[in-house]
Amino acid sequence: MFWQAVLSIFAMEPGFETRQVVAVPIQFPESYSAGDAEALLTRFQDRVATSSQVDDVATSSTTPLAGDTEGGTASTEFRLPNQVSTEGHRATVMAVSRKYFSTLGIPFARGRGFPGSNSDDAVIISRAFAEAFWPRQDPFGQTIISGDGKHFSVIGVVPDNHTSYTSEADGPTLYTLRNKASIGDLLLVRFHGNAVPVTAMVKSIVHDLDSQMLVVPSTLRAEIDENAEHGWLIGKMLLFGAGTAVTLALLGIYGMVGYSVTRRTREFGIRVAVGATPRDVVRAVFASGSRPVIGGIIVGTAVAFGFSCAVVKALERAPIPLSSTNPVTYGMVALFLTSAALGAMIGHARRAARIEPLIALREE
């Protein structure tokens, strides 16, 4: 199960193009005004678009890999005209340029994108958004109201993204049109061919526009792989901790059973003297050793569940799918520890079965 979760990170496909799209985050110095930043971004887009290797250039208020931010700072409450504010739903809001969907290769399930003329009230929504507000209905042309009372008209529907490193789709998402890029926007460059000359070209253009600015462009796939590496690191740390805990548990079981057999040497000798067979002695060793093991597994499972819940809560935004409620995992661990404990008892049980009564009776 764990290995499947780790492999799912590297195999994640968010539902849009990642290998042929370069993300360009630009951090402006504090000396830049909003107007200066917009002017530079406009010149940058125009120059990048003239490259023969570039197919499309778009902007977004946040990275498309940000995932489901429902309840976060990018989340806004929406409602239908016939609903009160408490009956609405929260959704992630992204301000994008006209070419955002073509740049990422996101198809339209309904509609054809933003109109050519400026329309501040036109929005495009995800399928999850449509299902939340108009289940089993056509959302095209419907009206939605934001928390501040602004009305929007749905002109398009796009498929849900899958950026949470699980099979679950992202939550409701609403896309608004932003004609001019602003400070904090992410530039997305769709290209063909090799990514290396494209990233080099992007760095060169930014340097020409302002030699004091530094950008680190990378493909969206490279960002996914980097997150996957972070997830794999977390996974290795969890595996190391689990392996250490299991090793200590096995050493404890082995030592406990060995100590118990040593202390009961006289008892086993007396049992053999009065007619007990080696099988009876082995059964007695396993009976006495199994009781604390079973009790330890029950208590340990309860403690492990509580600890797992705490870890999952602490790493809820980590790029690795974690779960604290998988009964198969707990069952497999319990079965493994039980089998290992029984294996640790075998040697001590055989030693007890070979005890000579006269020698055992002379033991202090």
157 plus 254 within the same structural domain? no
**Which residues are within 8 A (CB) of 165 and not within 5 positions of it... i.e. 6 or more apart?**
8, 9, 12, 227, 231, 319, 320, 321
State the DSSP code for 87. G
In the chain, how many domains are there? 2
354 plus 307 within the same structural domain? yes
Q: Of the residues 187, 216, 245, which one is the last residue of a structural domain?
A: 216
What pLDDT band is residue 2 in, cutting at 50, 70 and 90? low
Q: Is the predicted pLDDT of residue 126 greater than 90, yes or no?
A: yes
114 plus 199 within the same structural domain? yes
Domain assignment present for 50: yes
253 plus 354 within the same structural domain? yes
What pLDDT band is residue 27 in, cutting at 50, 70 and 90? confident
208 plus 241 within the same structural domain? no
Domain assignment present for 221: no
Q: pLDDT tens digits for 213-243?
A: 888 899 999 888 887 777 777 777 877 887 8
Would strands 89-96 and 173-177 be described as parallel, antiparallel, or unpaired? parallel
pLDDT value, residue 333: 77
Number of H helices, E strands in the chain: 10, 11
Neighbours of 158 (CB within 10 A): 25
52 plus 192 within the same structural domain? yes
Domain assignment present for 347: yes
125 plus 160 within the same structural domain? yes
Q: What residues make up the domain containing 350? A: 226-361
151 plus 243 within the same structural domain? no
Q: pLDDT tens digits for 30-69?
A: 888 888 888 888 899 999 999 999 999 999 998 998 866 5
Q: Of the residues 157, 189, 216, which one is the last residue of a structural domain?
A: 216
Q: Are 100 and 175 in contact (CB under 8 A)?
A: yes
97 plus 210 within the same structural domain? yes
pLDDT value, residue 299: 83
Q: Of the residues 216, 243, 270, which one is the last residue of a structural domain?
A: 216
